[in-house]
Amino acid sequence: MTTVTTKSPKGKKLLLFKVLATLFPFVLLILLEFVLRFFHYGHNTDLFIKDPYDDRYMVMNSYASEKFFSDTANATKGNSELFQVDKAPNTFRIFVLGESTTIGYPYFHNGSFHRWLQYRLNRMYPYKNFEIINLSLTAVNSYTVLDFGKQLAQYQPDAVLIYTGHNEYYGALGVGSTSYIGSNRFLVQTLLKLRTLKVVQLFNNCIKKVSGVFASHKTAADRQTLMQRMASRQHIELNSTDYQAGINQYDENMTELCRLLNDEKIPTFLSTVVSNEKDQPPFISNGTGPNSAMGFYKAGQQAFAKADYATAKQDFDKAKELDELRFRAPEAINTIIRKLATEFPEVHLVDTKKEFEQYSPHGIVGNETILEHLHPNLHGYSIMSDAFFQAMQSQHLIADPTEKEISYAQLVKDMPVTKMDSLIGLIQITNLKTGWPFNQLIPANYKPDTSLSGVLASRIESAQATWADGMDQLFAYYRNSNDKEGALRIMKAMNLEFPNEKQYCGNAANIAAILGNYDEAAFYYKKLYQLDPNDQLAVNIFQLYLRADEPNEALAYIKNLPQAQQAQAVNILTQIIDDKAILAKQPHNAQVTARLAANYKLLGLTDMASKYSAK
């Protein structure tokens, strides 16, 4: 019998064998990655994708948040606000970064501060196209804000607005969150890159399916709110290691983001954060003694009752700082924000906290502007929008002259937020407070609103209908009731939500014209004209501006009149403009008013002719 001996590899062959053996799993993973990509497995996690319904536009990717959450079931979705792939001339593009407050929780839609801002800017600069794209998400913190912010420069922003800081401990990857993986930023950034790989997504999906089998027996009583699912370390003492880790994390992430935006010469508006101090007791207090969070809170209440407001404010501040369940940002966060605004020339401070204090009794923020611990009510969101607006105006961000100034009081009066929007927020917050960490019973005197707005709000909050469905039903109700003011408000609100939908512009313009609100009608016809330019629309705008007694505005559309009418119309309009200038200085000049009446009559506007004949 012959014995066959096999030689073991030696020297260079042995080394090569070991290298190949080591590399083989990686080669296999790379091949698997290519196969998964070829078959389009998993999700693209880029911040933006082409709009699936119109590839002329970009939209926020609904999967952009998944890489920040260890359990993608907790991953939150953002808005779907479109902006043009090819930025058009005369377009002013603003990106908004932040957390739940920044996206407008619990109202969302037109309750959000950026919609208040958009409404105001649209009215003040009607010839400009404002694209304000809110990229905020609930349950995220500065890691997500930094990652999103890094991707913005290529999309030609004219400004970036940032409001973030409350979720530094319990937002995704926060030091106190269930998705925490460490304080080493290099490690975190590496993991985020790995989570974009299809192989890693496949691995995570397999784990999720296996864990789902074992979790399927859970009852409704086992379900937790997102706040509770995200909060792991619920006791974080002031100045502890975990506390300082959260502060350092915010400082390093936001410094990197501000440096990047500053280097790109992108005007950045960074806001201080605000929370409820007067009417939100500490969630977790280390004892009840005088130097505990609850001790200071009670002392603040006593001082407030005695009208010692300076002491009350100090005590409420201390109570918030000592609260160990850190859902409210410590004041150290605002200190960092103010530092960054002085460190980088392109970063401008928006002192939202100061604005809230000015609108709060005795400068102490409470339920007057905040719903629970930190989310503003509609009044609060309007204040927040004004804080950003004033900061932008102080930097002369928009060079164009305003068509008309819109004061804060006028904004509050005109903003098309509905009763349904308000009730959606009320229901959301009432339900939120029944769970952890509030654990409050629904008030005994709480009664559901039985009006159509209330019924729709309940259906929307329980996901039985969408917000757009509710608005459509309200519009039908107002139209059938011949309530044109109510119908116009709905169309204005829908135009804010869907600025590229022609039907909402057209409906708003038509209803405003019927109501004799010619300025409003002309505004929406102009928006419609930007979406679908045609001569008949231009003629409508021309006539509406004349009915609004604004000949200067009408003059811009005279070229769309039939050729034979243009020369005569130019002469008449020029005379009207000159006569109005004279009348402004000589309001009782009968000769001028008679000439104005005659010229308007020549243009076929008998109502305007009557207006001046009566003077």
What is the CB neighbour count within 10 angstroms for residue 386? 21
> What's the CA gap between 388 and 106, in Å, rounded?
20
> What's the CA gap between 202 and 127, in Å, rounded?
49
Q: Which residue, among 437, 472, 195, 185, has the nearest Cα to 325 in the 3D structure?
A: 437
Q: Which residue, among 295, 304, 491, 387, has the nearest Cα to 102 in the 3D structure?
A: 387
> What's the CA gap between 529 and 12, in Å, rounded?
75
> Computed over its alpha carbons, how large is the radius of gyration of the chain?
30
CA dihedral 16, 22, 25, 28 (to 10 degrees): -30
User: DSSP 3-state assignment of 405?
Assistant: coil
Output the six-digit token pair for 265: 């010469």
How distant, in Å, are the alpha carbons of 285, 303, 328 from that of 290? 11, 14, 21
pLDDT in tens, 462-502: 999 999 999 999 999 999 999 999 999 999 999 999 999 99
Task: Please tell me the pTM assigned to this model.
Answer: 0.90
Element (H, E) at 460: helix 452-461
Our CA angle for 82, 86, 87, nearest 5°, is 75
Residue 576 exposed, middle or buried by CB count within 10 Å (0-12, 13-18, 19+): buried
β-bridge pairing 129-134 and 268-271 = unpaired
Residue 137 · residue 169 · CB < 8 Å: no
Element (H, E) at 302: helix 293-305
Please tell me the predicted confidence (pLDDT) of residue 217: 45
AA letter at 274? V
> What's the CA gap between 149 and 98, in Å, rounded?
10
Give 171's DSSP letter.
Answer: S
Q: Which residue, among 183, 283, 176, has the nearest Cα to 230 in the 3D structure?
A: 176
Residue 378 · residue 111 · CB < 8 Å: yes
Tallying the residues shown for the chain, one arrives at 615
Give 5's DSSP letter.
Answer: P
Residue 115 · residue 494 · CB < 8 Å: no
Output the six-digit token pair for 426: 């009320």
How distant, in Å, are the alpha carbons of 98, 431, 514 from that of 139? 10, 18, 45
Give 532's DSSP letter.
Answer: S
> What's the CA gap between 292 and 238, in Å, rounded?
11
Residue 187 exposed, middle or buried by CB count within 10 Å (0-12, 13-18, 19+): exposed
Please tell me the predicted confidence (pLDDT) of residue 443: 81
* Tokens 């401990």 found at: 169
Which parts of the chain sit beneath pLDDT 50? 213-223
User: DSSP 3-state assignment of 439?
Assistant: coil
Q: Taking the chain, what is the end-to-end CA distance rounded to the nearest angstrom?
A: 129
In the Cβ-directed half-sphere of 445, how many Cα atoms lie within 13 Å? 0
Please tell me the predicted confidence (pLDDT) of residue 223: 43
Q: Which residue, among 168, 160, 106, has the nearest Cα to 139 in the 3D structure?
A: 168
Output the six-digit token pair for 579: 């006569």
Q: Where do the DSSP E strands lie in 117-186?
A: 129-134, 159-163
Please tell me the predicted confidence (pLDDT) of residue 607: 85
Please tell me the predicted confidence (pLDDT) of residue 199: 79
Phi-psi category of residue 439: left, alpha or beta, with phi > 0 → left and psi -120 to 50 → alpha: left
Residue 364 · residue 278 · CB < 8 Å: yes
